[in-house]
Structure 1
Amino acid sequence: MKQGFGFKAELILVLVTVLAGFGWIFSKEALFGLPPLFFMAARFIVAGFVLFLIGQRYFRGIKWVDLKQAILIGIVMGIAMMSWITGLDKGTNLGVGAFITCLGVVFVPIIGRLMFGIRPPMSIWVALPVAVVGLAFLALSNGLSFESAHLYFLGTAIALAFQLNLLSRFLVRMHALVLTSIQLIVAGVVLLSVSLPTETLPHSISMSVAGWFLASTLISTSLRYLLQTYGLSLTPVSHGAVIMNLEPVWAAIFAVLWFNEVMTLGQVFGCFLIFVAMLVSRWPQIKGLFKSY
C-alpha cells in the first residue's frame, strides 16, 4: 500500500471516530423521545435510503453475488446492534459494557486470520494490548463487576469484528456507497423486525427530538459509515480497527463538553495510551518517515 493512501485512510478514519463520538451525544438526546430499537432501526433505514438517493448511478448493474454479500454484512451489523442495545438495557455498569464492546479491536485481526488468512504486521500485535489497557483506564473508572449483560456486549464485540472483516473483504468488488447503503438498510430492517412486536411507539415526538434524530441519521450514520467503509478500503482492517479505538475517547471528551461530565486522571491516561497505540500501529511508517530526513 502506498504511503499516501495509508495517510489518507488514517485521516478519514480519525474523522469517522469524531463523527461516532458526536453520535453518542445525538443518540442520547434522541432517546429521550424514542424507543431504542425503533430509534436505531429508523436511523439506519433512513440513512441507507439517503445514500441510495445520492448514489443511484452506482447501483446500476449490481450483481446478485455482490448483493448477497452486502446483505450478509447488514445482517451481521443488525445482530451486533441488537446485542448491544440488549446489553445496554440489562446492564448496570455502562463503563464495563463499553470496555467489553471495544474489545472488538482485539478480535478483528484474530478473526481476519481465521477467516481469510490475513497476517497483520507485528506492530499491530504490539499496539493491541496498549489499546486494551487504554480502554480499561477509560471505561473502568467505576470498577469491575460481572453480570449477564456482559455476554451481550461480548457478542457485540465479536459480531462487529466479523462485520469489519467482511467489509474489508467485499470492498474489493463493490463501491463504498453501495455497500454502506445496503448494509444500513438491511441492519435497520433486522432491528425493526424486533422493535415492532416488542416496543411501544410514541404517538408524536418533539421538534428537538426530531432534530437530534436527523443529526444522528445524516451525520453520525450516513456520513460516518460511508467514510468508514471508504477508509477501510484504503488500509488493512487490523490497522483501521486500532484507529477506531479513538471513538470512546471522543465520546468522553464530548460528554465533558456537552453534559459537564468530569474525566478522572485515569481516564485521561487511558486516552493517552490509545493515542500511543495508534502511533505504535504505524511505527514502520513513522520510522521510515524519520529516515527520509
Structure 2
Amino acid sequence: MTERRAELSLVAVTLVAAAGWVFTKFALAGFTPYAFLSIRFAIAAAALALFCWPALRRLQRRQCLRSLTTGAVMGLALLIWIQAIDRTPYIGEGAFIVSLAVVAVPVLGRLLFGDKISIGLVIALVPALAGLAMLSLDQGFHLAPYQLYFLASMLAFALHLNLSSHYVRGIPSLPLATLQLLTVSIISAIAALATETWPREASATAWFWLLCAALIATSLRFALQTSALQHLKPSHASMIFLAEPVWTAVLGALLLGEVMSANQIAGCVLIFTSLLIFRGGTALRLWRR
C-alpha cells in the first residue's frame, strides 16, 4: 500500500467511525444502551478472532492480562459514552467533546507517568476550555447532563490511551483488539444484567443498525485502520483522525436532522481550533506538502 492509498484509507476510517455514531443512535431505538454495547462488541470480537486466531493462541499470559486490563478501562469509557449517546440530541457536538481526548492524553500522561508537556498543549488548552464554555451557554452557564457524560467518557478514553501506550506495546494489534472488544462485551453484559431489562423483541431495523455498528463501524474500521497505520507516521495519522468529529456533525445534520445553535457551532469550532493548534507542527508540514 502506497502512502497516498494509506491516507485515503484512513480518511475512510474517519468516515466509517462517524457513521458508527449514527448507527448507534438508530440502534438504540430498539435496544437498551448496555445490551446494545454487549451484543455489538461480542459480534465485533468474534469477527476479528476469525482473522487472528493463531496469533491469539500464541499470546503470553502477561500479554492477555494486559489486553484484558486495558480493555476493562475502554469498557468503562464506553459505558459512559453510550449513556451520552442515548441522551444527546446532538451527536456532532458530542463527537467534538470526545475528540478533546487528543489534548487530554498528554495531560493525564503528565499526571500519571511524568510525561513532558509541550508549549503547544498549553496554548491549545485555551481554545479547548473556551469551546466547552461556549457549549455551556445554551444551558445557562452549565453543561447539560449528556455533555457531562461525553466529557467523562473523553477523560476515560484518554486514560485508556495512556495505559495502552505504556502497557500493551509489542502485543500484536488484532489479538489485542479482539481481547479488548471481548472485555467490553463482558463488562457491558454485566452492566445490562444489573441495571436493565433486556429487549425481548427488538425490531429487524434495530438489529440491522446493530450489525452495521458491529461489523462496519467496529470490525471493518479496525481492519482498515490497522492496515493504513502501518504505512503512515503517527503524527500524520493523528491529523487525519481530526476529520471524525467533522464527519459526525455532517452526518448528524443530514441523517438525524440535527441543527446546532450558534453557541454550539462556536464551541465546536473552538475545540477544533484547539486540536489544530496542538497538532500545529504536523498541520504545517502537511500544508507544505
TM range (shorter): 0.7 to 0.9
- Aligned AA (2:138): N
Distance between the aligned counterparts of 1:127 and 1:243, measured in 2? 18
| TM-score (norm. length: structure 1) | 0.77
User: Does structure 1 residue 142 correspond to structure 2 residue 138?
Assistant: yes
Q: Which amino acid is the alignment partner of residue 126 of structure 2? A: P
> 1:76 is aligned with what amino acid?
V
Deviates more, 1:200-209 or 1:265-274: 265-274
- Supply the distance in 2 between the matched residues of 1:162 and 1:212 (Cα, whole angstroms): 29
Give the drift of 1:73: 1.0
Give the whole-Å Cα distance in 2 for the aligned partners of 1:259 and 1:112: 36
CA distance in 1, matches of 2:104, 2:264: 23
> How far apart are residue 86 of structure 1 and its match?
4.7
Runs of 5+ in structure 1 lacking a partner?
A: none
Aligned to 1:115: 112
* 1:29 corresponds to 2:63: no
Structure 1 stretch displaced more, 174-183 or 127-136: 127-136
Aligned sequence identity (%) = 35
Taking the aligned partners of 2:254 and 2:220, their CA distance within structure 1 comes to: 23
Q: After the TM superposition, which residues 77-88 of structure 1 pair with which residues of structure 2 at under 5 Å, given as runs?
A: 77-86=74-83
**Partner-residue secondary structure (3-state), 2:258:** coil
Other-structure match for 2:17: 20
Question: How has the CA–CA distance of structure 1 residues 285 and 271 changed in structure 2, closer, same or farther, with 3 Å as cutoff?
Answer: same
Q: Does 1:203 align with 2:200?
A: yes
Comparing 172-181 with 217-226, which one deviates more in the overlay?
A: 217-226
- Which amino acid is 1:67 matched to? C
What TM-score do the two structures reach when normalised by structure 2?
Answer: 0.78
Structure 2, gaps ≥5 residues long: none
Q: How does 1:141-290 map to 2 (within 5 A)?
A: 142-143=138-139, 144-146=141-143, 153-225=150-222, 231=229, 234-235=233-234, 240=238, 244=241, 246-287=243-284
Q: Deviations over 1:267-286 (max 9, x none)?
A: 44445445544443343345
Give the length in aligned residue pairs.
Answer: 284
Select between 120-129 and 19-28 the one with higher mean Cα deviation: 120-129
Q: Which residue of 2 aligns with 1:44?
A: 41
Residue 38 of structure 1 deviates from its aligned partner by 0.3
CA distance in 1 between partners of 2:286 and 2:221 (Å):
29
The alpha carbon displacement at 1:218 in A equals 1.1
Instruction: Tell me, in whole angstroms, the C-alpha distance in 2 between the residues paired with 1:290 and 1:259.
Output: 33
- CA-based RMSD of the aligned residues comes to 3.8
CA distance in 2 between partners of 1:100 and 1:278 (Å): 11
How far apart are 1:47 and its partner, in Å? 0.6
Q: 2 CA distance for matches of 1:290 and 1:39?
A: 41
**Range with greater deviation from structure 2 (218-227 or 140-149):** 140-149
